[in-house]
Amino acid sequence: MIRRDAILFAGLGVLILALAVWLKVPTTIQLLVTASAYALIALGLNVQWGYAGLFNVGVMGFLMVGGASVVFVSYPLNDAFWSSDGPFMLLKAIIAAIAGGLLIWGVTRIPKTGSLKKVRGFLLVVAWAVAYVVYRSQIDPAAVLIEEKAGFVGGLGLHPLFGWAAGGVMAGIIAYVIGKICLGLRSDYLAIATIGISEIIRALIKNMDWLTRGTLTVSPIPWPTPLPADIAAAGMDDATMSVILARSGFLAVTVILIAVIFFFLQRAYNGPWGRMMRAIRDNHVAAGAIGKNVTKRELEIFVLGAILMGIGGAILATYVQILDPSGYQPINHTFIVWVMIIVGGAGNNWGALFGAVFIYIVWTISEPASLVLFSMISDLSEGAGIGAIPDIESRALQMRVFVLGLVITFALRYAPQGMIPERVRTDD
């Protein structure tokens, strides 16, 4: 690492210490936990964009999948569901889905040449329609019954770390399907498809009440580490101290996770695999010409990035202990991650790490800061006889959105490499 980077990270450390004094320690640790989740997400996006040049504007969707997965895997068992007809009916729906899938698969086996090739497309449409109708005929009554009898399916009651893993896996599966369709086409198509899938995931999680309780929200999601209440129960008298300890425990888990993932990402990046990815990113044609299967490699990397995003999303939901679909917004969950890696330095994991923590801190403190700023302007305008600014709070928040956009466009123009730019070792 070069000296400039060390100075930047040292500056970040000082900033965090200053926050600890200003916002007090528990809040600072809380901020760091969330920032670490974003760091993981930013690493995921850096893998996709920085390593391979894949344009993903659906980060939010992958985060929501992670959140929903941790609810399903780690929320306590819902006895009302398991003692009802629900599991049986869901099983029927799953079987229907599998049967439908098999039907579709069977039709795709029809050779593209030969006597049936004319009706192939038509049969495929029919197969999809039949599969969809059969599935809906099973899932709809199941959903109604579950919502009526049990509210929602509840969880499996497993340790949250399994939930995080499940979040990664689910996000990876979705990325695989999207990637299969869009990679190999122009990057614009991937952008459109990812923004679409993230909106659809949001619609699903918001409306599949039987699975996620939708807007009713699910809480509390258990922590992988002891909660403040657990520590207090274990004999800690000082309430602040138990909060600090509990949050530190959570932070320790995320930091270790990041350290491990970071280590492997760095190794991969500097190894032959990373070299190949850069070759693909910088010159599609040349890499294709030397016989590497570009689309397949890109698919791998898209899935890998999405897995990291899924885990990050699971951590975010776990820490706040609630899955609230209405709380997910593209600005807070997609575009801010883009700002993180553009400002930090796309293609450099250190840059992504730095950008994630730095931008998250700036984003968080900009809320009170912009309020102060707007109050000042408001006082001024009142003093000048124009009158105070109405709805000052919501407007101050909107200013942040504007600044985010401004930062993106300015960074692209004046510092496209970011604060910690990509450095490709040329000696190997």
Q: What residue ranges bind another protein (CB under 8 A)?
A: 53, 55, 57, 140, 181-182, 185-189, 191-193, 195-197, 199-200, 203-204, 206-207, 331, 335, 338, 342, 390-391, 394-395, 398-409, 412-413, 416
Q: Which is nearer to another protein, 247 or 400 (CB)?
A: 400
Minimum distance from residue 84 beta carbon to another protein (Å): 21
- Min dist CB 424 to another protein, Å, is 17
Count the Cβ atoms, other than its own, within 10 Å of residue 119: 12
Contact present, 348 and 420 (Cβ < 8 Å): yes
In the complex, minimum distance from the CB of residue 23 to another protein, in angstroms, rounded to a whole number = 25
**C-beta of 203: minimal distance to another protein in Å?**
6
Nearer to another protein, 207 or 293 (CB): 207
CB under 8 Å to 76, separation ≥6 — which residues? 154, 155, 157, 222
Query: In degrees to the nearest 10, what's the CA dihedral of 143, 145, 146, 148?
Result: 120
Which residue number, 20 or 191, has a Cβ lying nearer to another protein?
A: 191
Specify the residue, 275 or 395, whose C-beta has the smaller distance to another protein: 395
> Which tokens go with 32?
């760091």
Q: For residue 93, give the nearest of 134, 35, 125, 144 by alpha carbon.
A: 134
Q: Output the smallest distance, CB 399 to another protein, in A.
A: 6
* Shorter beta-carbon distance to another protein: residue 157 or 416: 416
CB within 8 Å of 150: residues ≥ 6 apart: 78, 80, 81, 84, 86
Could you check whether the bond before residue 220 is cis, i.e. omega within 30 degrees of 0? yes
CB of 233 to another protein, least distance (A): 42
Distance CA(388)–CA(124), nearest Å, equals 63
* Dihedral of the alpha carbons of 319, 324, 327, 333, in degrees to the nearest 10: 60
Instruction: Please choose, from the candidates 215, 91, 207, the residue with its C-alpha nearest in 3D space to the C-alpha of residue 142.
Output: 91
Helix, strand, or coil (residue 21)? helix
If the CB atoms of residues 326 and 398 are measured against another protein, the closer one turns out to be: 398
Q: Are the CB atoms for 223 and 250 separated by under 8 Å?
A: yes
| Least distance from another protein to the Cβ atom of residue 195, Å | 7
Q: Which residue number, 368 or 405, has a Cβ lying nearer to another protein?
A: 405
Min. distance of Cβ 405 from another protein in angstroms? 3
Within 13 Å of residue 344, how many CA atoms lie on the same side as its CB? 32
Q: Which is nearer to another protein, 272 or 390 (CB)?
A: 390
**Alpha helices by DSSP H, 109-225:** 117-149, 160-182, 187-207, 209-212
